[in-house]
Amino acid sequence: MSRCQLCCIRCLCDFCTDKREYKRKLFNNRFLKVEQAVEPSLILWENLGVTKRHRRFRILISSLSALVLLIATTLLILYVKIKENEISKNQIRCTAANEITREEALTDFGLPKDKQLQLMYCYCRNLFWSSLLEGRNPSPALSESFADGQSHCEDWFGQYTLHQAMLYSVPFSIIFVNWVSKTILRLMTHLEGYQSKPEEVYASSINMFIMAFINSGLVIQLVYFKWVPGTNLPLVLNKYDKFSQAWYREIGSTIVITLMLMVFMPHVGNVAFQCFYGCRRCTDRGCTCDERNTRKLVQEDYENINTGNEFMLEFRYSNILTVLSVAFLYSGGMPILYPVAAFYFLITFWVDKCLLFHCYRRPIKFDNYIARKTLNYFQLVLVLHIVGFLFMQVYSPIL
């Protein structure tokens, strides 16, 4: 019950009830604030001896460590993005207006680099895609030697493959960095000394969400957008001052691909872990179907390997908040993020349902503390949607 509600009740009691009856309900001249007690099974008994002072100190150390981790992950993502741009600068745009022959490509390749028309690049690229469209294997055509005895198209194919791989390096690096940082933050939150399991899971979820949201949706935009014209801030590239076609091609596509990967990669990891634990159980049983057959000598070890691993709610809540925040922040200019987010929830529902019923151990019976606290962040998602929509509309010359 909020303080405003308590004041209203007190005013009503002053006018509508007997003074003696009213004072009898007060404790130290105020109403008692009653909250539901935590279930005994959710209490972290080992942390009850941690004082508030020690807990604040642990939270301070954890926050400073999280800040260092955030700076490290930001620099890593920035480094990968800069490397991608360096490779993209060397990309050559070819037109299919004129057919390039092998002799023309080799003649142009023999010229000095400042006078080349990059006909060799276009010739090998057209040869590669024409072979694929005709249903033929492009390897024999690319490995064929030119008049000078060298296979220039094989060298082109290596550079072309590297460039195409770099297009997905930033989204994959963001997914990997988020997974590593979430694992570290979960361990750090466990050391903060919360007295109940719901409080610990909720704090871990919010820490993971903040880290993943900054890495997935803010770092690239903050670094590449020209926030203050005419200034050169450190680590800020000042490449775009509006949401132009080039911004959507480079930054927008990275955000969309990252969100699409977040639809599948967490579930791929969960399924892979379940397959790993299944192989461990099979090895423990001697590759038989007899569940009673085991190499374990202690009952606890036998139960741990046969009951599955823990269903971690903190990863689910943080992923939900991250997908919602990133999708609603940029959906004003990229409506494709709406179906991507909806598909994420559809996949998450069915995959987690199947794994929870068949693979994970029986989860702890949490109360509604985590859900109630997490719902407060949905208001932040709405604010992000409004701010992102207005910002993209004002600074967009194409919408």
Find how far residue 91's CA is from the centre of its chain: 29
Classify residue 290 by its DSSP letter: -
Going by C-beta distance under 8 Å and a sequence separation of 6 or more, which residues neighbour residue 34? Answer: none
Q: What is the mean pLDDT of the chain?
A: 79
* Alpha helices (runs of H) in 285-312, residue ranges in sequence order: 299-306
What is the spatial distance between Cα 319 and Cα 313, in angstroms, rounded to a whole number? 10
Instruction: Determine what percent of the chain is predicted with pLDDT higher than 90.
Output: 8
pLDDT tens-digit map of 44-59: 888 888 888 888 888 8
Task: Return the pLDDT at 22.
Answer: 58
Judge whether 381 and 328 are in contact, CB under 8 Å: yes
What is the spatial distance between Cα 72 and Cα 65, in angstroms, rounded to a whole number? 11
What is the spatial distance between Cα 136 and Cα 297, in angstroms, rounded to a whole number? 58
pLDDT tens-digit map of 367-399: 888 888 888 888 889 999 999 888 888 877 765
What is the spatial distance between Cα 187 and Cα 292, in angstroms, rounded to a whole number? 34
Strands (E), 77-129: none
Considering only CA atoms, give the Rg of the chain.
Answer: 29
What is the spatial distance between Cα 398 and Cα 326, in angstroms, rounded to a whole number? 21
CA distances from 252 to 65, 186, 200, 314 (A): 31, 30, 35, 28
pLDDT tens-digit map of 246-291: 888 878 888 888 888 888 888 888 888 888 888 888 888 877 777 7
How does residue 117 score in pLDDT terms, banded at 50, 70 and 90? confident
Judged by average pLDDT, the poorest of 15-24, 231-240, 350-359 is 15-24
pLDDT of 75 higher than 70: yes
